[in-house]
């Protein structure tokens, strides 16, 4: 999944959590964060720090990869 904003990130976290049959509180415990933060992330309603994002991804056994965009255009309104 290509992630370009908080909403995309939240959707990917939610989908992976549900695929693993986990609750928000399960992810929160594994990542040592509050359950409310997981909810905020999933709803695209937070500007979490990178270290927090990495903890949540690790709790889901996921990694963050950075790749070049497929199209060279940049539209700052997408963010």
Average pLDDT score over residue span 24-29: 97
Q: Tell me the per-residue pLDDT of 6-21, one tens digit each, with 9 for 90 and over.
A: 999 999 999 999 999 9
This prediction has a pTM of: 0.81
Q: Is the pLDDT of residue 78 over 70?
A: no
**Which residues contact residue 31 at a Cβ distance below 8 angstroms, ignoring those fewer than 6 apart?**
38, 52, 55, 56, 58, 59
Reported confidence tier of residue 45, pLDDT bands at 50, 70, 90: confident
Domain segments of the chain as ranges: 6-62
Assigned CATH class of 6-62: mainly alpha
| CA contacts within 13 A on the Cβ side of 25 | 0
């Amino acid at each position: 999944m290509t992630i370009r904003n908080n909403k995309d990130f939240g959707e990917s976290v939610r989908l992976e959590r549900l695929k693993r049959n986990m609750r928000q509180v399960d992810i929160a415990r594994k990542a040592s964060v509050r359950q409310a933060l997981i909810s905020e992330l999933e709803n695209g309603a937070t500007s979490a720090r990178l270290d927090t994002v990495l903890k949540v991804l690790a709790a889901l056994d996921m990694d963050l990869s950075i790749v070049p965009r497929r199209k060279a255009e940049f539209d700052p309104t997408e963010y």
